[in-house]
Each structure stands twice: as C-alpha cells, then as structure tokens.
C-alpha cells in the first residue's frame, strides 16, 4: 500500500495541518449526498445447492461479463461514486501533484552487467512508461534502446511489457505484451541488430521465456485460455517462424501450475511444477534443447524444493524431512533424486530460510528470524561465514540483481518505513559497502529524521503475540484522536515487509499514522506463521487483524472514530470479514479488488486460479471446508447491521479476482446496511488486478484512495 504528502510543511505549517483535519472546514468532508441515490442492482432468484445447504444468490447474474445490463450496472455505480466525490476533485489533484512532485521523473535504474552489456532502465520527464536500454562493455558506450514503452503504449488504454530476454549471442530479444490487463501475454521476438520484428506472435503466454544456448530455440509457458492456469511448456525455433511450437510438457494435474526458467550458470533449463504445498522440477542441458527433460525429484505431498546449479551439483532449498523453515542441500547433477541429497545448511526451527544466491567463491542465504531478515555470507572453502551488518528495529532487506556468477560483489537493497530505498554493493572479500543509488525524494523538505517507526505487539485471541510496524511524523502524538491507517494481507505465505513509500508521506504529513499488521497467513514469523493462517485455521488471519486494531485502541493510540483499514485481493477478503465481524472498530475501510465470494469462486473450477488454490483455502466440495469457508465468506455473511464507510475497487478485466465478486458484495451490502455511511464501488473498466499501468495513472488511483480517507477524517467530530 502506497501513500503521500499534500505540501512540504515546515514544522509550524505541519502542526497547523494536523489541526485542520479535525477542526477546519478547508478540507472537504465525506458525507452522504441525499440528493444522489445509489444504484440498486436487480435481484434475480438463484440458488446454490451443495451438502444439503442452500445459499441464495440474487446477484449471481452479475458474472455475465458480456451482458449489457452488467456493464450498465457497473457504469451506474461508477457514476454514483464520481458524482458523490466530485467535491474532492481539488483534493485529489493536490494529492496527485504532491505525490508526483516527490518522484524523480527522469529517473534511471542502477545499471547491471550481463554477458558483455550494461542494462539500464530509465524514465523520461512527463512519461508514464519505462525505456529499456543497454550499453556494450562500458557505461560510456553509446546507448541502444531496446524498448521505448511510451511509444509502444500510445494506442492502448493499458500496456504492460514483461519478460525481456536477450539471446546468448546478444542479437535477438524475446518480450511479452499485455494490452488488456488480464495477464495473457503475447510473445514477440525482435532482431536487436536491425531493429526489425521477426514474424513471430505467440498468444496466451505468461510472458516469460528461456533461450537455449544455440540462440535459435527458446522455451515458453502457455496458459489455459479459460482458467488461465499455466499448464503447458513449448519449444519454439526462430529458424522456422512459420512452424508450430513443439509441446514438451503438459501439467495434467489441475491443482498444479508450471513454468520454465534458466539456471544462473546458463548451463541448465528447468521446468517447475508447483502448487501451494508441493513442487517438482525437471532439467535439461541448455546446449541440447532437442533432448528430453529429466526429473530432479518426483512430486510428493507436502514436499517443496527449488533448484540452482553450481559446478557438478544442484543446490536445493527444501522442506524435506520435517524442515518446516527449510534447509539447504546439494546433490550431483547426474543423481538428483532426494535419496542423494546431502545437507549443506541444517534446518533451524526459529530461522526461516527465504532465499539463496550462488557465486563462484561465495554462497549467500537470506534468513528471517523473529520477523527481521538477515543476509548470511559464506565462502565455499568455509574460511568465512558472517552476517551482513544491518541496523534498525524494523526494516526491509533483500538481495538484488546478482546475475553475474563470477563476481565478489553482492548487491542488496535496504529500506525502512522512514528510510528511502538504497541499493548497496557489498564486497564479500573486503566487507566494504558502496551506495550505488539512494531513492531521491524531491520537493526539498523531506528529512527522514522527521519520521519515527518501531515495532509493537498485540495479543491475539489465543495469546499469540502479533507484531505490527508503525510509522508516523515525529510531531504526531498518538492519542485517541490520531487517525491511523492499518494495513495487512495475510495469505499465501506472502510477507509484507515494513518498506518505504513516498506516497505514504501525504498521510503522515497530515497527521496520520500507518500500521502494518504482520498477521498469520504470511511468513513474517516463519513458515509456521503461514501454516497457522490457512485452510481450517484461516480465521486466525482475521482475528489477528481485529486484535491488532483493538490493541491500538486500548493503548490510546487511536479510537474507532479515527481508525481506518485497507487491504487488497486476499487482503480485500480480510477487509470483508472485519466489516462483518467488527464494524464498530473502523471509521472507514478500503477494499481493493477484494476476494469476497469465497465459496462460489472455489466451487467454480472454470474461474482462473481456483483449482490451484485448494491448498490455500480448502476444497468446498468437501463439507468440512464448505462449512468453514461459508462461516467467514464476506458475501455470504453480510447481515443487517451498521457498516463503516467503504470504498471498494474492482478491475473489469481482472483475472485473479473477477470483477463480479466486489460488484455482488456491494449490491448485497446496499440491501443490508442500516446506516447512512457511504458505500462506493469504483470499477476500472480498462484495467485488471494491478490497476492502471502507467506510473502517473497509478498515482491518481492512490490519490483517490487518500482523498477518501482524508475527507472521512475531516468529517470526524472530536
């Protein structure tokens, strides 16, 4: 979640701004406009029947994407939202202007060297999209523009270019383009030397690819056109562009997806199959692309592993043999089966192994202990073993672009909720570090010493300690009148680290505090933290968030009149549960592309991602999971009661959370809410799950969200 700054106030100006939120009429308020009537979706009788249970679903018809009545309803909701918030136009524009003012518009990435070229991504002033370039041998060489996405995006409402993949001989490049925002990418191949496009267009892919070392063949992943599951791996030859792709692997198990990747050593190509609890890999020598892939280790229930290559060995990060937080093993390339795995780094119950990088002389492991990441560096000859020095009570650190195998330089990224993102280069031999790039926060008044962050802990209903990261301006005194925006995700083992955001400054400089609740369902406190927030333990995710909110209120840091919540996708499911179960705790809630019709979606295997996620939520065809899901599913649990002020967003082309889930939910909420709080549905008719594609359009969406919160806070009476 990103946020930002209305003006760059001096201390006295900042103090005045804090007062104006709650006392002054200069900031617009968010109050219902009784002259505007919200649209009411037509109810059409429909019943879901399973396990001797009937679920009434009068808005089931909204999933008919091609039905003009559906589009009309969504447009009427958009019109209602736009008219109801028209008085916030100046505030939205001010927010957008200040957020944009903090960005270095003509920014450039840190160059990285690969296969004889320096690769650089840059933005030009006033442009929405990146320009991808390279320079041969030296940074002083002439720039070659690979892709100018601003030109490529001109005739599209949405544009996303991914998977840039240069051939080993540096003459060709594969890339994927999505102009719908449904994550169905078309692959193209460009001749870098001549600038000409080859007559190749491969539709419905993931956008990624892997070259074989012959510079002629490449492998790519295709999607099922209906479910969008990644289910097939193909080989293609650019020497025969008119020929059909050759199918080399089909993932027959509908609960698994597949992908293709290359080893850092450039010697092997891997096909990976995965679901939430199990993985399987096959490998192929990159010099012999026409041969068959060989199996590393056959898939087994609850066995996860990932493979890297160095020398004569595969190095494997795995949870095998009860290693809940993972361990590192190795095996000879010609004997990759699990029975040959030799332990390199043992499992530790209190330390999560998150990632590892292999170099010619060193190997590097990213660990997480009590929520904080650490980077451990070891030499292959065991002569050195140490941790990268890090500071702070709550921060984010991770290894960055390290694709050069022979280097002794490790790149890593560090930031915190108060410190901008900084890219470091660390000499693993001398242990000296160099700052390659520190994120610039423009505008002239940003000073990281003006903000404070720390970690606090709440007690869950079962006594578990739930960590929270909090940040606010140093002049903000936490009290029952302090506005706090609380954010969380809490699913798929995805960890939300406490990172820096320039947009968030717009709330912090207005007196808001911002809190990340590191609830169960993520892996902030280790793998068990995830296991305790999924399947038949999923309700821990929701109760942890509510417990965190109650802790903020009980400690006098805020109050229900000033507490706000935000979550997106599976985090939007979280928002749906908390407004059903504890609506009295929140003044306002933003639910972005929320997954709220859990049972119906998980019963429909034609919907993208459904079968892949049975190990996350359970399969409702089994009664135990059906009953459990239904008991928390936000759409099924809407009831006649008072609800907080709510802004719900959707993407018409969303492939992950279909637009009809938030649309149905809002329609049912309108029937049941017993108060005069505002309820808005804002559907982006040109975008999908990730929202707008341009960097400035994305800022405008953030400005809309912030204006909603700020206007609500100005409505509060102390």
Supply the residues annotated as catalytic. 569, 654, 689
Query: DSSP string covering 252-266, please?
Result: --TT-EEEEEE-TTS
Beta bridge partners of 148: 131
Residue 148: CB atoms within 10 A of its CB come to: 15
Cα 80 to chain centroid distance, Å, stands at 29
3-state secondary structure (DSSP) of residue 177? strand
Rounded distance, CA 616 to CA 45, Å? Answer: 31
Report how far residue 61's alpha carbon sits from residue 412's, in angstroms, rounded to the nearest whole number. Answer: 49
| 364 vs 347: CA distance, rounded Å | 16
Which residue, among 148, 160, 168, 161, has the nearest Cα to 210 in the 3D structure? 168
| Residue 502 to residue 508: CA distance in whole angstroms | 10
| Residue 252: how many other CB atoms lie within 10 Å | 8
Two tokens at 672?
């049941």
Using alpha carbons only, how large is the chain's radius of gyration in Å?
A: 26
How far is Cα 572 from Cα 596, in angstroms, rounded to an integer?
7
631-668 as b/e, with b when 16 or more CB fall inside 10 Å?
A: ebbbbbbbeeeebbbbbbbbbbbbbbbbbbbbbbbbbb
Side-chain half-sphere exposure of 601, counting CA atoms within 13 A = 30
End-to-end CA distance of the chain: 28
Burial status of residue 106 (CB atoms within 10 A of its CB: 0-12, 13-18, 19 or more): exposed
Are 522 and 530 a contacting pair, CB within 8 Å?
yes
Reference 263, options 222, 210, 195; nearest CA is 210
CA distance 681 to 675: 17
Instruction: For CA atoms 621, 627, 631, 635, give the dihedral sign.
Output: positive
67, 317, 593 from 46: Cα distances, Å: 17, 48, 24
Q: How far is 524 from 545, CA to CA, in rounded Å?
A: 14
- In order of 424, 444, 569, 601, 683, the CA distances from 117 in angstroms are 20, 35, 38, 47, 43
């Amino acid at each position: 979640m990103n946020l930002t700054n209305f003006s760059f106030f001096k201390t006295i100006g900042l103090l005045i701004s804090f007062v104006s939120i709650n006392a002054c009429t200069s900031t617009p308020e968010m109050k219902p406009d009784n002259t505007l009537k919200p649209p009411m979706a037509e109810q059409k009788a429909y019943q879901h029947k399973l396990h001797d249970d009937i679920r009434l679903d009068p808005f089931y018809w909204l999933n008919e994407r091609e039905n003009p009545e559906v589009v009309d309803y969504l447009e009427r909701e958009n019109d209602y939202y736009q008219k109801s918030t028209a008085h916030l136009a100046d505030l939205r524009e001010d927010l957008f202007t200040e957020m944009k003012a903090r960005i270095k518009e003509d920014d450039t990435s840190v160059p990285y060297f690969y296969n004889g070229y320096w690769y650089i991504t840059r933005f030009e002033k006033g442009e929405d999209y990146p320009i991808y370039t390279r320079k041969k041998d030296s940074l002083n060489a002439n720039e070659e523009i690979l892709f100018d996405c601003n030109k490529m995006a001109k005739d599209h409402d949405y544009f996303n270019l991914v998977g840039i993949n240069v051939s080993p001989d540096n003459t060709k490049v594969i890339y994927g383009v999505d102009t719908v925002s449904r994550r169905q990418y078309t692959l193209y191949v460009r001749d870098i030397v001549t600038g000409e496009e080859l007559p190749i267009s491969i539709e419905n892919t993931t956008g990624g690819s892997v070259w074989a070392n012959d510079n002629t063949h490449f492998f790519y992943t295709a999607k099922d056109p209906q479910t969008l599951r990644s289910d097939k791996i193909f080989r293609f030859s650019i020497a025969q562009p008119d020929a059909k792709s050759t199918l080399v692997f089909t993932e027959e198990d509908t609960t698994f997806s597949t992908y293709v990747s290359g080893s850092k050593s450039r010697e092997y190509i891997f096909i990976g199959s995965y679901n939430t609890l199990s993985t399987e890999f096959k490998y192929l020598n990159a010099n012999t692309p026409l041969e068959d892939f060989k199996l590393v280790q056959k898939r087994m229930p609850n066995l996860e592993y990932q493979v890297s290559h160095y020398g004569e060995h595969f190095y494997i990060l795995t949870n095998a043999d009860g290693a809940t937080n993972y361990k590192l093993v190795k095996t000879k390339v010609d004997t990759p089966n699990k029975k040959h795995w030799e332990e390199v780094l043992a499992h530790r119950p209190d330390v999560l192994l998150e990632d590892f990088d292999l170099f010619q002389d060193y190997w590097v492991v990213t660990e997480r202990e009590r929520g904080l990441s650490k980077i451990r560096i070891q030499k292959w000859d065991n002569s050195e073993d140490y941790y990268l020095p890090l500071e702070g009570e709550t921060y984010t650190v991770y290894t960055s672009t390290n694709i050069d195998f022979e280097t002794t330089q490790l790149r890593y990224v560090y930031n915190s909720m108060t410190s901008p993102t900084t890219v470091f280069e660390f000499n693993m031999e001398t242990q000296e570090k160099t700052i390659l790039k520190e994120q610039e926060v423009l505008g002239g008044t940003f000073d990281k010493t003006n903000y404070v962050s720390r970690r606090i802990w709440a007690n869950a209903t079962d006594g578990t300690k739930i960590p929270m990261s909090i940040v606010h301006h140093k002049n903000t005194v936490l009290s029952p009148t302090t506005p706090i925006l609380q954010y969380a995700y809490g699913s798929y083992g995805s960890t939300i680290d406490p990172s820096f955001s320039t947009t968030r400054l717009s709330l912090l400089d207005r007196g808001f505090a911002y809190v990340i609740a590191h609830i169960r369902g993520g892996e902030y406190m280790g793998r068990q933290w995830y296991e305790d927030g999924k399947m038949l333990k999923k309700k821990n995710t929701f109760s942890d968030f509510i417990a965190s909110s109650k802790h903020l209120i009980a400690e006098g840091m805020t109050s229900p009149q000033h507490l706000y919540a935000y979550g997106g996708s599976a985090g939007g499911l979280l928002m749906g549960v908390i407004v059903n179960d504890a609506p009295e705790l929140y003044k306002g809630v933003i639910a972005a592309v929320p997954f709220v019709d859990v049972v119906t979606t998980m019963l429909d295997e034609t919907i993208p991602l459904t079968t892949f996620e049975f190990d996350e939520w359970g399969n409702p065809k089994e009664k135990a999971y059906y009953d459990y899901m239904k008991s928390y599913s936000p759409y099924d649990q809407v009831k006649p009661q008072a609800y907080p002020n709510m802004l719900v967003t959707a993407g018409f082309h969303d492939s992950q959370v279909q637009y009809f889930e938030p649309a149905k939910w809002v329609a049912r909420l309108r029937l049941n809410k017993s108060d005069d709080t505002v309820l808005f549905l804002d559907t982006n008719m040109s975008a999908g799950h990730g929202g707008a594609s341009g960097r400035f359009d994305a800022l405008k969406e953030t400005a809309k969200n912030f204006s909603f919160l700020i206007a609500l806070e100005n409505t509060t009476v102390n």
